[in-house]
A and B are shown apart, each in its own frame.
Chain A
Amino acid sequence: MTTPCSTTTATARFLLIGDSHAGPIGKAARRQGLPFTGGPLGAGREFNTDFFDGAEGDLTFRKKEANALFRRFLGELGAPTFSRITVPVVSTVGFSAHFPATRENWEIYQARTGAFEEGFLSSRLFDEIILAMARGALAFYEYALSLKLRIVAVMPPQRVPVLSDPAAFMAAQETIRRALDALGVEIVDVRSVAADGSGFQHPEFCEADDPLHGNLAFGQLILDELAARGV
């Protein structure tokens, strides 16, 4: 997409980038009047591939529109390259777990009942499949860390659209979370508040008329957690 984007703020608290789940965070920050720059760079599926090239302290998104937004955000921060960013990077990249959890991906691993074989979702095979799909996202975080940037990954709303498998979604986000944790990425996880007893998103944190995204209240929860971490 080619659209006007973020507002320059000399005192931005953070750079927000990621998939559509970054939207509620940015909207909540706007409503709160919080200085920041950034927003979603594309849909989640666009980060389930090799989506960027990094060299000499800078980063280029392969999708033209995403890269244009990213360059604009850097400009607003007065950073000529990615490595020159001085504020924390808040990212939802890689956590669109509903995409790898698409039902058709997993049918060959399921019994006729639709259930996975016991232990499959915690198996090395499952991890390797998910990590292969998330390889671009993991490389992105690894690259940011190599540039000594503070990067904070935000876990997604606990919402599983009908074309995705709930069990695969839960296991996939856990696999990604563990991989990021192993890399040393800070992770914002508000599930203990945003999810109900069943583990799925509490209705009060769901965007209305939308089976996938969080709402402003969910964005605010994440902002509160970021603030608690000094972001």
Chain B
Amino acid sequence: MDPGHSITPEKHRIHDRLDMNPYQSLPSRSFWRSAVAERDAASIDDLWTPKFPIGRHDAIATAGSCFARHIGRALAGHGMNWLDAEPAPSDVPEPEREKRHYGVFSFRTGNVYTAAMLRQWVEWALGVSSPPDEVWTEGGRFFDPFRPAVEPEGFGCVDDLRHSRRTTLRAVETAMTTARCFVFTLGLTEAWSNDATSTVYPVCPGTIRGTFDPAVHRFRNFTHAEVHDDLNATIAMIRNVNPGMRILLTVSPVPLTATATGRHALTATTYSKSVLRAAAGQLAEECDHVDYFPSYEMITGFPFKGMFFEKNMRSVSPTGVDFVMRQFFGAIHAQEPPAPAPAPVLPPPETAPGEDFLCDDAVLDYYRDR
């Protein structure tokens, strides 16, 4: 044996210490082999540990890009308290409701693709700023530039349009001031703004409705810093009126329909989703009241080999939506205390349910310390 390599008692102790490293006590979910490689894709789980509890009775508001519509529906279907702050009036026939965006999100803003657009809606709803007077007209009908899809046939007059938008803004205010949790799904970094009014549109003027004017309408591709700033400011506004509000951010796995950057749609999608994912993740790291739910990874992660997309490799299949929501409910229910067994009528218990056992512990602890 090379004497230079002999293990002295001191070296042995060092060796022991080196044997104990931070990875040795990590759970199997932390290792690629046990968490991913050795599993069938459909059995990959434990992707999310909620930072805060979401109770069955907690009012939950949802909004965001098109993928967000699955979340509200699933929450309601699962018996949770999904907040519909702008329910359909009774005179709107059932078949028309979804087309007119009733029951899709917690309010009828239509899809809110960007953080900038969310900030704008919250500012308007909370009276921080006011919407501009801009109205689009077409065929004698009037369309709201900031939610052109919610009334596909438009409004008969400008007053009706403004009245309808005020109703939606009141619903946004209600949701932001009363919900316990707001789930927002980030969709895009690309948007079009109006230089004259400094507002952001949900879609490019001239596509669904309106007229494109290159002198006024400007393309924006928001940076990480801008998305982070918009989200941060929005969350601060919401928490100012609702200090208990918790924010759950997600990123839509749905790729861009089209990019105006001049780049390939795939690389533009990668940029957009990377920025959104990074901004959401950073906020979740920075704030106790913000969490990130990885629906994006659950659908687009390469271990899933694109199996949750439809043939166009863009739309998420019902199986994919089920996979995401199963992970969501599995994680939040794992945090709930076990459901109590039906109890017979008994004299008052010595110990109360819920956190009150902590009071007993605290009392015992006081005397144990002596």
Interface residues of B in 164-192 (CB under 8 A from A): 174, 177-180
**Closest beta carbon of chain A to B25's beta carbon, Å:** 19
Contact of B367 among A3, A103, A212 (CB under 8 A): A3
Instruction: Give the distance in Å from the alpha carbon of A42 to the alpha carbon of B362 in the complex.
Output: 9
Q: Assuming A114-B81, A161-B354, A162-B55, is B364 touching A3 (CB within 8 A)?
A: yes
Question: Which residues of A lie under 8 Å from residue B174 when comparing CB positions?
Answer: 113
Contact of B239 among A7, A45, A114, A198 (CB under 8 A): A198
B366 touches A40 (CB 8 A): yes
Instruction: Give the distance in Å from the alpha carbon of A161 to the alpha carbon of B358 in the complex.
Output: 10
A113 touches B243 (CB 8 A): no
B: number of interface residues (CB 8 Å): 33
Question: Which residues of A lie under 8 Å from residue B57 when comparing CB positions?
Answer: 103, 107, 114
Question: Which residues of B lie under 8 Å from residue A8 when comparing CB positions?
Answer: none
**Closest beta carbon of chain B to A67's beta carbon, Å:** 15
**Closest beta carbon of chain A to B288's beta carbon, Å:** 9
Question: Which residues of A lie under 8 Å from residue B366 when comparing CB positions?
Answer: 20, 22-23, 26-27, 39-40
Contact of A114 among B59, B360, B369 (CB under 8 A): B59
Question: Which residues of B lie under 8 Å from residue A211 when comparing CB positions?
Answer: 355, 358
Q: Is B152 located at the chain interface by the 8 A CB criterion? A: no
Q: Is A33 located at the chain interface by the 8 A CB criterion? A: no
**Closest beta carbon of chain B to A125's beta carbon, Å:** 20
A5 touches B359 (CB 8 A): no
Q: Is A213 located at the chain interface by the 8 A CB criterion? A: yes
B359 touches A114 (CB 8 A): no
The residue of chain A having its C-beta at the shortest distance from the C-beta of B244 within the complex is A166
Between A1, A113, A164, the greatest number of chain B beta carbons within 10 A of the residue's beta carbon is seen for A113
The residue of chain A having its C-beta at the shortest distance from the C-beta of B358 within the complex is A212
- The contact sample of 18 A-B pairs, CB cut-off 8 A, is A1-B364, A3-B368, A7-B370, A19-B363, A20-B359, A20-B360, A27-B369, A43-B360, A45-B359, A112-B81, A113-B59, A114-B58, A114-B178, A115-B177, A161-B355, A197-B243, A211-B355, A212-B355
* Closest 5 pairs (CB-CB, A-B): A198-B243, A43-B359, A20-B362, A161-B355, A163-B354
| Apart from the given pairs A3-B367, A4-B370, 13 other A-B contacts in the complex at a CB distance below 8 Å | A1-B367, A4-B367, A7-B370, A22-B366, A30-B370, A39-B366, A39-B367, A42-B363, A102-B354, A114-B83, A114-B178, A199-B243, A213-B358
